[in-house]
Amino acid sequence: MAVAVSAVLLLAGCGSAVQDAPAPGGGTAEGFPVTDDNCGVTTTYTAPPARAVTLTSNATELMLELGLQDAMVGTSYLKNRPIGEKYAEAYAGVPVLAPGQPSLEQLVAAEPDFVYSGYPDGFSESNGHTRPRLAELGIDTHLNPESCREGRSGFEDLFGEMDRIGAIFGVPDRAAASVGDLRGRLDRVRAQLGDVEPVPVFVYNSGADAPRTAGGKAILTEMIERAGGRNVFDDVAERWPQVSWEQVAQRRPAVILIYDYLEPSVESKIATLRSTLAIAAVPALATGAFPTVALSEAQPGPRSVDAVEQLARDLHPDRFR
């Protein structure tokens, strides 16, 4: 006599949970149903999605990290966000629906059964494909819970999201292996850095009159910390606040980390920094310490670990010789 045993896997972030239990009867795949409570939308999967579309680069790369390219029928919004070299071969086999966000018509034409966005702008009225609208069409959706989380985002949230997608697609072992590898890489950076003094870092996203930067809630703040730095605006309880150049000058960053999404170029951003009189005495301007972080690395995704490794070398080159 078989005894059904239910297991519940709670994953951190945004009150999000995945419940994974053996099917109580016929009609479901092994390891299912899986119930995903995601940013106010609850979806129960009786089998892995087979026709997924991703709407942001970090969602695309997370899927490819888990080897799910064969379950993808489309991707989009890679404009100014080049795919990571590690994923280029797998990505080449996935149709690109649009360089920006696809229209509802373009999205529906791909006949998806699952649409995944790393940021809320993937599900917006302006694009015509909100989560309620796609639900009306019988299409399941998932949003990276960073978008609805109240507090700070970090690597534990990213790893929870990877486990969550692994459960939905029936590949929990792949997710666990990827998470283990990424954790190991972060541990090696920590060991290499040892007891270094954190370097004060200002993140320059954009803006000439008033800069936009990373605040305390952005995953980039933890990325900087793990690389041996300190975000000088980590006390601002927002993800991407606008500040003043005078505030930047007061916090005297030794390094200015430039957020690189191709347009405007890194060179033009450096020119803006050098021409802004209010920060002329900032130490980073004197040394020309302007490392970069790609947009796809600063969004929560597997390449965020790549950025930590590189930034640690930029901030503490003597520890990596």
- Tens-digit pLDDT profile for residues 179-213: 999 999 999 999 999 999 999 999 999 999 999 99
Q: Residue 78's pLDDT is what?
A: 72
CATH number at residue 109: 3.40.50.1980
Question: What average pLDDT does the segment 255-260 reach?
Answer: 97
Q: Residue 88's pLDDT is what?
A: 94
SS3 call for 292? strand
Crossing angle (nearest 10°) for helices 57-65 and 155-168: 60
Whether residue 174 sits in one domain with residue 225: no
- Tens-digit pLDDT profile for residues 46-60: 999 999 999 999 999
Whether residue 157 sits in one domain with residue 217: no
Distance CA 195, CA 280 (A): 31
pLDDT for 20 beyond 60: no
Evaluate whether 231 touches 198 at the Cβ level (below 8 Å). no
What is the domain extent for residue 253? 197-320
Distance CA 66, CA 81 (A): 20
Q: Residue 39's pLDDT is what?
A: 95
Q: Residue 126's pLDDT is what?
A: 87
Q: Residue 213's pLDDT is what?
A: 98
Beta strands in the chain (DSSP E): 7-9, 17-20, 34-38, 41-45, 52-54, 72-76, 96-98, 114-117, 140-143, 199-204, 229-231, 255-260, 292-294
Residue environment code for 62-97, b if the CB has 16+ CB neighbours within 10 A, otherwise e: bbbbbebbebbbbbbbbeebebbeebeebbeebeeb
Domain contains 51 = yes
Domain contains 104 = yes
| Cα–Cα distance list, 196 to 225, 252, 320 (Å) | 11, 19, 12
Whether residue 172 sits in one domain with residue 30: yes
Whether residue 278 sits in one domain with residue 241: yes
* Lowest mean pLDDT segment, chosen from 22-31, 44-53, 292-301: 22-31
Percent of the chain exceeding pLDDT 70 equals: 90
pLDDT for 64 beyond 60: yes
The full 3-state SS of 115-163, as one line of letters, equals EEECCHHHCCHHHCCCHHHHHHCCCEEEECHHHHCCCCCCHHHHHHHHH
Question: What average pLDDT does the segment 16-44 reach?
Answer: 72
Question: What average pLDDT does the segment 159-179 reach?
Answer: 98
Whether residue 115 sits in one domain with residue 202: no
Q: Residue 24's pLDDT is what?
A: 38
- Tens-digit pLDDT profile for residues 96-116: 998 888 999 999 999 999 999
Q: Residue 18's pLDDT is what?
A: 45
By the 10 Å C-beta count (0-12 exposed, 13-18 middle, 19+ buried), 268 is classed as: exposed
Specify the pairing of strand 199-204 against strand 255-260: parallel
Taking all residues of the chain, what is their mean pLDDT, rounded to a whole number?
90
Looking at the structure of the chain, the number of domains it has is: 2
Distance CA 165, CA 47 (A): 13
| Tokens of residue 248, six digits | 């930047």
Domain contains 238 = yes
pTM: 0.89
The pLDDT confidence band at residue 150, using thresholds 50, 70 and 90, is confident
Question: What average pLDDT does the segment 248-277 reach?
Answer: 95
Residue in 142, 93, 143, 114 with CA at minimum distance from that of residue 49: 114
Q: Residue 296's pLDDT is what?
A: 87
| Tokens of residue 6, six digits | 């239910």
Q: Residue 284's pLDDT is what?
A: 98
